[in-house]
Each structure stands twice: as structure tokens, then as C-alpha cells.
């Protein structure tokens, strides 16, 4: 029995930007998430996500851009069209916001891949959009964030008509991408027979060429961002040299696949996933002669690197101390944090309901309840202790909640009230027993 996350007074339908959807027992999207839909941060004038998007777009000349695709999609678009197996965890209601059994808030911009390939309007495209996920609560994760999807494909038939092989055609395009002299760690072979296999319809030569085009394009993008970030400091700060690396990855809709990571504040930050597009996606989109690459990046992650923005919640701020720092017209300037307000840590410990199976509890439910009670006044929620009773085998968990506003000092009374509400809702929703 899975946990119901919507409020008990759930209506039978929900209206999203004028479109009405029938809800059913799959509905788990809270009002706080629906309220984020009209914000469209990535197209707001002078918003840091808009500036970041435009800077990235400028490195992909000739790619067709899409910035207004509707966030409600079918499970066929979000999962099936991309080859997600029926039992993939991403489909779970613990991970994805459903309106009904067949309708979700897109969890990634890849939901639009098949339709965009089918439209076949350009060799390259970029899709920027808001995406929605039930996920951890911390400084680099937020349940609504923004992705940019990019893809570039080549036509086999056109290549052979030109008298060159497909690989030769692609290598000629690789030469058109600006070169750089940053050392990028990339220790793994492009193709690994077990971990990162070639697709049956591709030759190794073709994949080497496509991978080179993909990696060169994305390295150029990250280096552009880094150089812009450095010039934004006016040479006032000596920042660390850029450190970038490629790591092997897995996605159901690309093979081989890679992620790009950047060294940021003492750890590797994953900024994008990418790979060679699965041929069945192109076949099903009626463009079987096309082959190519795709990537999906987190716009907030890139914007945090660009501006030195320390907390992902800030993007949602309506505070002019935040918004007034960004301008599309002026020179780029590093974000100057307004003073950091004090943190307040509070723990909550509870026994999981004894009569329910182990699968009835999912950490994302705790995260979402914290978001629902506290909005942006919660900075971080993390598991600090786990204990299993030796006799009863009941499990006890302790979460540490960090209450902190980005805009002011919270009073004791306020944090106590929030924490009390959180405790009450954990019991009501998850059936846990407080310790």
C-alpha cells in the first residue's frame, strides 16, 4: 500500500493554465507545486536563469530553441517514448508528480525528445523548461527546477549522397566547434562493451565522431560559462582553475552515455547527462535515417557556477536584493549574498509504522512534507540516525531539519511552530510514531 500524499480534500479535477485534467488515485501533486507552474523563471527578463539560458544558447548557433513547451505531459511522452521499462523507479509516485494515471508534470525535458525529432525542423534543437521531481531537500536540489535539453542529428542518406562517410561528415562539423586548452579528465573509453555499449545499428567510427562532437560542444559551453564567471569577478578574486571531468553514465534513451561534472565548492557537481540517442526513438519518430547525440543539463546548476549563487532556493526569491543583482544588458557580476541569516537545527525521530511493509515508507515523502509545511524556510533535511529494534525489528529514523530563511532571521517561536506542524503532519500522513 503506497502512501497517499495529496490532501484528503482533493478535487476530481485540476486546472493547469486553463487546461482541465481529471484526477484519480494517482494524483499526488500539492498546491505548492502547481503554484510554481506560472512562474516561468527561465523566460523572465533579467532573471539569472534567463541570462544563463541565453548565454548557453549563444554557443549553439543554428539550433532551434523552444522555451514554451507545456509542462503537463503523458506518461507515454515522459517514459514510454524514451524506452523506460514498466518497472523503472522514475515512474513511482514517490518520485514523480502525477495528475492522474496517464498524466504527469514532466520530470525532464527529454519528455519532448520524440515529438521534437518527429517535427524534424532542424539539425539541432534546444528545449528549456521547468521540470518537476519529488527529490531531496538541500542547497542544490529543489522539487521544481529547469533543464535545457539539446540534440544534434545527422542524416545518413544526405551524408552518403555527398560522397563522404557519415563519420567523415561529422568530423568535419567537429572542426567547426571552437577549440580550447582546458585539461578535461576523460579516463574511460568512448565505448565499453559492458558498461557503455555501442548500439547495434552504429559503427564504432560513427560513435567516436558523434561523441567528439558532443563532448567538444559541451566543453565549449562549460568553459564559456567559467570564463564569463571569472571576468565577472573583475579579477578581484583569484578563483580556482576550472576542473571538469566526463564520467560513464546510464540512461534508457542513450547508449553510450556520459555525465559531465565540474569541481564546485570542494566537490564534483554533476551538471548534465548525455549520450548517443537510442535509434528506436528516431525510428519511432519517423526519422530512421538520422543519428546523433542529446544532452540534458540543470540550468540552476550552471547558473550557480556562473554567478556563485550558493542556494537553489534563491532562484525563486521575489526579494529585490536578489533580483536587482542581475541584468541582461549590463556586464555580468558575481552574486553578492545578503548577510547569511542564522540556521536553526531541529531533529525529529520516529518509528516507522509497524504494520506496513518496508516499501510503504519513502524518504521523499518526508522531504515533501517539509516543503509543504515550511516552503522556502527549510534549507536542508537529512537522515542523521537510523536504528532497528533488536527484538521487534521496528525501524526508527531521525531527520535533522535546518530551518533558515534567505531573507531574514527566524524567531524561535516561528521555528517551533513549523517544527510542531511538521511533526504532526508526519504522523497524519505517514502513520509514523514520534519518539
The footprint of ligand FA5 on residues 139-198 (CB under 6 A) is 141-142, 145, 147, 149
79 binds, among Mg ion, ligand FA5, none (CB under 5 to 8 A by kind): none
| CA separation for the pair 195, 250 (Å, rounded) | 8
Count of residues that interact with ligand FA5, criterion CB under 6 A:
24
Residues 289-328 that bind ligand FA5 (CB under 6 A): 294-298, 300-301
Nearest to 187 by CA among 261, 255, 270, 295: 261
- Closest CB to ligand FA5 among 292 and 426? 292
In the complex with Mg ion, the residue whose CB is nearer, 71 or 273, is 273
Q: Which is nearer to Mg ion, 273 or 308 (CB)?
A: 273
Pick from 5, 36, 107: which is nearest to 366 by CA? 5
Q: Contact with ligand FA5 (CB under 6 A): which of 96, 254, 255, 405?
A: 254
Please identify, using beta-carbon distances, which residue of 49 and 223 lies nearer to ligand FA5. 49
**How near is the Cβ of 275 to Mg ion at its closest, in Å?**
12
Kindly identify the residues of this chain, within the stretch 271-330, that bind Mg ion according to CB under 5 A: 273
Residues 376-405 touching ligand FA5, rule: CB under 6 A, are none
Residue 278 CA to residue 22 CA, distance in Å, equals: 33
Output the smallest distance, CB 273 to Mg ion, in A: 5
Name the closest residue to ligand FA5 (Cβ): 298
Q: Binding to ligand FA5 (CB under 6 A): which residues in 122-141?
A: 133, 135, 141
Q: Treating both helix axes as pointing N-terminal to C-terminal, what angle do 299-307 and 48-57 enclose, rounded to 10 degrees?
A: 100
Using CB atoms within 10 A of its CB, is residue 382 exposed (0-12), middle (13-18) or buried (19+)?
middle
Which own/partner contact pairs does 405-409 have at CB distance under 8 Å and 24+ positions apart? 405/341, 405/376, 405/377, 406/311, 406/313, 406/314, 406/317, 406/319, 406/322, 406/341, 406/376, 407/317, 407/319, 407/321, 407/338, 407/341, 408/341, 409/341, 409/342
Q: Which residues bind ligand FA5 (CB under 6 A)?
A: 108, 110, 133, 135, 141-142, 145, 147, 149, 251, 254, 270-275, 294-298, 300-301
Amino acid at each position: 500500500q503506497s502512501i497517499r500524499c495529496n490532501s484528503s480534500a482533493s478535487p476530481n479535477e485540476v486546472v493547469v493554465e486553463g487546461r482541465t485534467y481529471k484526477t484519480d488515485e494517482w494524483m499526488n501533486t500539492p498546491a505548492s507545486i502547481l503554484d510554481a507552474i506560472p512562474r516561468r523563471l527561465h523566460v523572465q527578463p533579467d532573471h539569472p536563469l534567463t541570462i544563463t539560458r541565453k548565454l548557453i544558447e549563444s554557443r549553439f548557433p543554428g539550433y532551434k530553441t523552444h522555451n514554451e513547451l507545456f509542462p503537463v505531459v503523458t506518461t507515454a511522452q515522459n517514459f514510454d517514448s524514451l524506452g523506460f521499462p514498466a518497472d523503472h523507479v522514475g515512474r513511482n509516485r514517490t518520485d514523480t508528480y502525477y495528475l492522474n494515471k496517464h498524466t504527469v508534470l514532466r520530470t525532464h525535458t527529454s519528455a519532448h525528445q520524440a515529438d521534437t525529432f518527429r517535427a524534424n525542423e532542424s539539425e539541432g534543437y534546444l528545449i528549456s523548461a521547468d521540470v518537476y521531481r519529488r527529490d531531496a531537500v538541500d542547497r542544490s536540489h529543489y522539487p521544481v527546477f529547469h533543464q535545457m535539453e539539446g540534440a544534434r542529428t545527422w542524416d545518413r542518406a544526405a551524408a552518403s549522397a555527398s560522397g563522404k562517410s557519415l563519420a567523415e561528415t561529422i568530423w568535419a562539423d567537429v572542426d567547426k566547434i571552437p577549440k580550447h586548452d582546458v585539461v578535461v579528465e576523460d579516463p574511460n573509453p568512448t565505448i565499453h562493451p559492458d558498461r557503455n555499449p555501442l548500439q547495434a545499428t552504429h559503427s564504432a567510427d560513427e560513435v567516436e565522431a558523434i561523441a567528439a562532437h558532443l563532448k567538444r560542444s559541451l566543453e565549449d559551453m562549460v568553459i564559456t560559462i567559467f570564463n564569463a564567471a571569472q571576468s565577472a569577478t573583475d579579477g578581484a578574486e583569484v578563483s580556482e582553475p576550472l576542473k571538469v571531468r566526463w564520467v560513464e553514465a546510464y540512461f534508457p534513451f542513450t547508449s553510450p552515455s556520459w555525465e559531465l561534472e565540474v569541481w564546485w565548492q570542494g566537490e564534483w557537481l554533476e551538471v548534465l547527462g548525455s549520450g548517443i540517442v537510442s535509434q528506436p526513438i528516431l525510428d519511432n519518430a519517423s526519422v530512421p535515417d538520422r543519428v546523433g547525440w542529446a544532452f540534458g543539463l540543470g540550468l540552476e546548476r550552471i547558473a550557480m557556477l556562473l554567478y556563485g549563487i550558493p542556494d537553489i532556493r534563491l532562484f525563486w526569491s521575489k526579494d529585490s536584493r536578489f533580483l536587482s543583482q542581475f541584468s541582461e544588458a549590463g556586464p555580468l557580476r558575481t552574486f553578492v549574498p545578503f548577510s547569511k541569516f542564522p540556521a536553526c537545527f531541529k531533529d525529529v525521530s520516529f518509528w516507522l509504522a509497524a504494520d506496513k511493509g518496508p516499501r510503504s515508507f519513502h524518504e521523499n515523502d518526508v522531504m515533501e512534507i517539509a516543503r509543504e509545511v515550511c516552503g522556502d524556510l527549510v534549507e536542508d533535511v537529512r537522515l542523521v540516525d537510523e536504528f532497528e529494534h533488536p527484538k521487534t525489528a521496528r525501524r526508527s529514523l531521525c531527520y535533522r531539519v535546518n530551518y533558515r530563511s534567505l531573507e531574514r532571521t527566524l524567531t524561535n517561536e516561528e521555528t517551533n511552530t513549523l517544527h510542531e506542524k511538521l511533526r504532526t503532519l508526519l504522523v497524519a500522513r505517514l502513520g509514523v510514531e514520534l519518539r
